Structure 1
Amino acid sequence: MLVKLFGAAVQGIDATIVTIEVNCSRGIKFYLVGLPDSAVKESHERIVSALQVNGYKFPARQIVVNMAPADIRKEGASYDLPLAIGILAANETISSEHLADYLIIGELSLDGSLQPIKGALPIAIAARQQGFKGIILPQQNASEAAVVNNLDVYGVERITEVIDFLNGTRILQPTIVNTREEFYKHQSIFPFDFAEVKGQENVKRALEVAAAGGHNVLLIGAPGSGKSMMAKRLPSILPPLSLGESLETTKIHSVAGKLKKGSSLIATRPFRSPHHTISQVAMVGGGATPQPGEISLAHNGVLFLDELPEFSRSVLEVLRQPLEDHRITISRAKYSLEYPANFQLIASMNPCPCGYYNHPTRNCVCSPGQVQRYLNKISGPLLDRIDIQIEIVPVPFEEISKITPGESSACIRERVIRARQIQAQRFANEPGIYSNAQMTPKLLHLYAQPDAAGLELLRNAMNRLNLSARAYDRILKVSRTIADLEGSNEIRPAHLAEAISYRNLDRENWAG
């Protein structure tokens, strides 16, 4: 008997429906075709054991399984459940009447229990788009898939539940998630708060400006001055995710298998902090089994690179194109995938090899040449994409010992949201432009043109401080954000002066 049922293959962050055809006839052989990988081929042993443990016999007949479309490689163990159900249906052990109504996906254990899969959310989205009545998948993935409305999501723990459901002897209750309630309930829950930071008011201000305008930041300071502590608190002042951004972010983490058990939508902006030994593939994505990289896992959030000069130069250089295009295309001989990568880069570094250049109380033992060589590990083109460079000095004892908490993240976040709303109105007719950091030279001329006094200040600053030419546009973008935070339509000299103070590494005499 020939039966058809449906699974799914994940490509990039989207899913493609896979038609599984099973034909059971006279003979004793088992054939599995349709470009399966080793994990799919090994499903035979898992299916045999799962059926035997639960009182079913693997048919002693010739079984041919075809997985279409045949030009898409089928990877992973998530086809175990649909293959097992298809084999039983082709042998007329279970009813095949309702197989076409459901997309079935899941990995089998030897005892017939189901293991969680990757990519449940994009698979559920594809099932709804293709008009399926529902989806049957492991219980651990049910909350994630139930985010998709107009689709019955049945979470099951064992293969026997699926068999009984298709035979009509068991009623499964669909998993229901109030998407909006779950989403908005967790939007303001953060593990870190700026109220815990003592002193460092200038750095807090710089990060507030960065959050308001979507600017990339480089923090420079001695060991223990608070660079990592400040960076970890940046997500708490960024604007909340929209439902669309949350859905896209959740899809990426679902495909990568990074979602926590029983979770649904990601409600807060992601914060990724890879170690400096990371490889190019781990940073941008790809590999033998394609996976999103760190820059895609940081999509709509923050990518924090601690000890920036310690990263491989080749790893840092691959960041240049995603920082501009907000997407990364992975092209290999056998596949070409595109992952979103719209992240805010926050980097930190010591000012020199010993870490104490410009320290107020400790002496630096590095020569000017050593300091310059250390800074030269970061290429000019990458530095060109960082709008704010702020130097951090250690907090004195008087500030650390204060009992009074600082300004909370919630208060700072309110100002950031107001500034982002101004930018949303300003760029409403500019596709792909959402913040001041993304302004083109044309938009800079329209919205960030200083007056005569401001131009004179900028000219004097560039001459006296020996600022590089690339600092000019960055200063205008940051000053536009500072003006937005104050609700000002014009860029005043005070806004420009603050923006100029955020260009430490552009000063030719900074490293001596």
Structure 2
Amino acid sequence: MLIRTFGSAVHGVNAYTITIEVNVTPGTRYYLVGLPDNAIKESEQRIESALKQHGYRMPRQKVVVNMAPADIRKEGSAYDLPIALGILAASDQMLGDKLKDYLIMGELSLDGTLRPIKGVLPIAIQARKEGFKGFILPAENAKEAAIVNKLDVLGVENIRQAIDFFDNKADIPPLKIDTREIFQNTVNQYQADFADVQGQENIKRALEIAAAGGHNVIMIGPPGAGKTMLAKRLPSILPPLTMQEALETTKIHSVAGKLGVAASLLSTRPYRSPHHTISDVALVGGGGIPQPGEISLAHNGVLFMDELPEFKRTVLEVMRQPLEERRVTISRAKLTIDFPSNFMLIASMNPCPCGYYNHPEKDCVCGPGMVQRYLNKVSGPLLDRIDLHVEVTPVTFDQMTETRRSESSAEIRERVVIARQIQEERFKDFPEIHSNAMMPSQMVKDICQINAGGKALLKTAMERLGLSARAYDRILKVSRTIADLANSPEIRIEHLAEAIQYRSLDREGWAG
């Protein structure tokens, strides 16, 4: 008897449906075809044990399981449940009338319980798109899938519950959650707040500008100056995630298996901080089964790279293209996958190997040329993609003991949101551009126009401070953001002057 069940495979951050055909006929042996990987081939033992635990049997006949389309490789153990149910229906141990209406996924334990799987959200989205009535999956993943409306999400603890449902012996109530209510109740709930930071007003101002324009930042300062503490608080002043951004971000974390048990929709901007020993594949994504890397997990959020010169040179260089294109392409012989990677890069570094170059109180003990060699570990093309260079100085005792509470993240975020709204109106005819940092060079000339006084100031700055040519566009973009924060339609001289000071590493002789 021929029975069809339906599963799904994840390709990048999208899913496509897999038809599982099971045919039980007189004969012997078990055949699994359709390019399955080893995890799927091993499903026979898991399925046989699970069925036996619940009083069912593996047919002692010829069993052929075909996974179509047969020319695409299938991977993972999540096909255990649809294969098992197909075998039961094909061997007349279970009714198969309702199987065509449901997409089914789940990994079986030897006792028949279901283990959670990865990539549930894109699978649920595809199931709704293809008109399935419902999605049967492990109970631990049900909350994640229930984000998708107009789809019955049926979470099951074990294979017996699924069998009883298809035999009309038991009913499984669909899980319903109010996605928008959850989103509204948890949006902007960050544990870290700028109100906890004493002093460092100039750094807070720089991070506010970065958040308002989507600019990348690098902070240079001695150990203990507060670089990491400030970076952790940057997501809390970014504009709240939109529902579309939240779904995009959740899909990526779902595919990577990073959502956790009983998680649903991500409502806060992600913050990723990889260790400096990370490999280039772990950073940008890839592997035998292409998975999203740290830059994609930071999509719509912040990627913090602490001690930037300590990262391997190859790791830093592979970031250059994703920083420009806002996506990373993983190419293999038979497939090409795009992962989105629209993130804000915030990096920190010491000014020299000992960490005390330009320190107001401690002396630098680095030898001649060591400071410049240390800074040269970060390439010019990468620095070219970082708009703001900020020098961080240690907090004084008086600042640390000050009782006056600092400005909160919510107050700063209000100004950032207003500036972003101005940019949304400015770029409404350019759907690929959402912030000042994303402007191409030709657009900078039209939007970031300055008067004669501003041109004279910029010329003087470039000549006297030895600013490089690559700093020109960056200064104009940052000054445009500063003007937006001031609700100014034109870029004034004071906006330009503030932007110029955020190009520390472009100054000739900065490191002596």
TM-score range, shorter chain: over 0.9
Q: 2:464, 2:288 → 1: CA distance?
A: 53
Q: Displacement, 1:289?
A: 1.8
Structure 1 counterpart of 2:206: 206
Structure 2 counterpart of 1:60: 60
Match runs of 1:229-378 below 5 Å: 229-378=229-378
Q: 1:367, 1:448 → 2: CA distance?
A: 42
Q: 1:83, 1:405 → 2: CA distance?
A: 61
Q: Displacement, 1:421?
A: 0.1
AA paired with 2:482? I
* Unmatched 5+ stretches in structure 2: none
Q: Displacement, 1:404?
A: 2.0
Q: 1:467, 1:444 → 2: CA distance?
A: 19
Match runs of 1:45-84 below 5 Å: 45-84=45-84
Q: 1:483, 1:71 → 2: CA distance?
A: 56
Structure 2 counterpart of 1:430: 430
Matched, 1:497 2:497: yes
Q: 2:286, 2:436 → 1: CA distance?
A: 31
> What per-residue deviation string (whole Å, max 9, x for no partner) do you get for residues 253-273 of structure 1?
000000021111100110000
AA paired with 2:253? H
Q: Displacement, 1:58?
A: 1.1
Q: Is the 8 A contact 1:209 1:481 kept in 2?
A: yes
Query: Secondary structure in 2 aligned to 1:188?
Result: coil
AA paired with 1:15? A
Q: Is the 8 A contact 1:368 1:511 kept in 2?
A: no
Match runs of 1:176-195 below 5 Å: 176-195=176-195
Q: 2:216, 2:338 → 1: CA distance?
A: 23
Query: Secondary structure in 1 aligned to 2:369?
Result: helix
Structure 2 counterpart of 1:475: 475
Identity within the alignment, %: 65
Match runs of 1:435-454 below 5 Å: 435-454=435-454
Q: Displacement, 1:288?
A: 1.1
Q: Displacement, 1:368?
A: 4.1
AA paired with 1:414? E
Q: 2:359, 2:510 → 1: CA distance?
A: 13
Matched, 1:108 2:108: yes
AA paired with 2:197? V
Structure 2 counterpart of 1:117: 117
Q: 1:57, 1:435 → 2: CA distance?
A: 60
AA paired with 2:370? Q
> What per-residue deviation string (whole Å, max 9, x for no partner) do you get for residues 89-109 of structure 1?
000100010110000000001
Q: 1:366, 1:378 → 2: CA distance?
A: 18
Structure 2 counterpart of 1:175: 175
Q: 1:368, 1:176 → 2: CA distance?
A: 66
Q: State TM-score, norm by structure 2.
A: 0.99
Structure 1 counterpart of 2:20: 20
Q: 1:442, 1:290 → 2: CA distance?
A: 35
Q: 2:35, 2:328 → 1: CA distance?
A: 27
Give me the CA root mean square deviation: 0.7
Q: Displacement, 1:335?
A: 2.7
Q: Displacement, 1:442?
A: 2.2
Structure 1 counterpart of 2:128: 128
* Deviation beyond 6 Å, 4+ runs, structure 1: none
Q: Displacement, 1:367?
A: 2.9
AA paired with 1:373? R
Q: Displacement, 1:403?
A: 2.1
